[in-house]
């Protein structure tokens, strides 16, 4: 997957987790928690969705890499490089 495809996938997951949030103005460099009303369970849901959809394993000690859209895409790019978007 390309960085743009990964970003779209994260947006899709965020829409599923938090359907009432407006994601149109999401800033890639700003932490999700500063922009969205996400709690620790929501972050766990993101991790679980990535595992379920793409078999991407994210160790708990690396959850901090998912703080913002930019850091999430940068972290996931090498892990999802060989995944073909269907």
Highest-confidence segment of 15-19, 36-40, 70-74: 70-74
**pLDDT 10s digits, 19-58:** 988 899 999 999 998 999 888 899 899 999 999 999 999 9
CATH of domain 3-80: 1.10.1200.10
Measure the CA–CA gap between 13 and 53, rounded to whole angstroms.
10
Measure the CA–CA gap between 86 and 71, rounded to whole angstroms.
24
What letter would DSSP give residue 1? -
pLDDT band at 86 (very low <50, low <70, confident <90, very high): low
Q: What are phi and psi of 29, to 5 degrees?
A: -90, -10
Q: What is the CA radius of gyration of the chain?
A: 12
List the helix and strand counts (H, then E) for the chain.
4, 0
pTM of the model: 0.89
The per-residue pLDDT for 13 is 96
The per-residue pLDDT for 84 is 76
Domain residue ranges of the chain, discontinuous segments joined by +: 3-80
């Amino acid at each position: 997957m390309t960085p743009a495809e990964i970003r779209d996938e994260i947006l899709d997951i965020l829409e599923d987790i938090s359907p009432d949030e407006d994601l149109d103005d999401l800033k890639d460099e700003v932490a999700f928690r500063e922009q969205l009303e996400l709690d620790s369970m929501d972050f766990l849901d993101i991790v679980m969705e990535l595992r379920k959809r793409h078999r991407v394993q994210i160790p708990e000690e690396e959850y901090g890499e998912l703080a913002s859209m930019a850091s999430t895409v940068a972290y996931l790019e090498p892990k999802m490089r060989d995944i073909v978007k269907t």
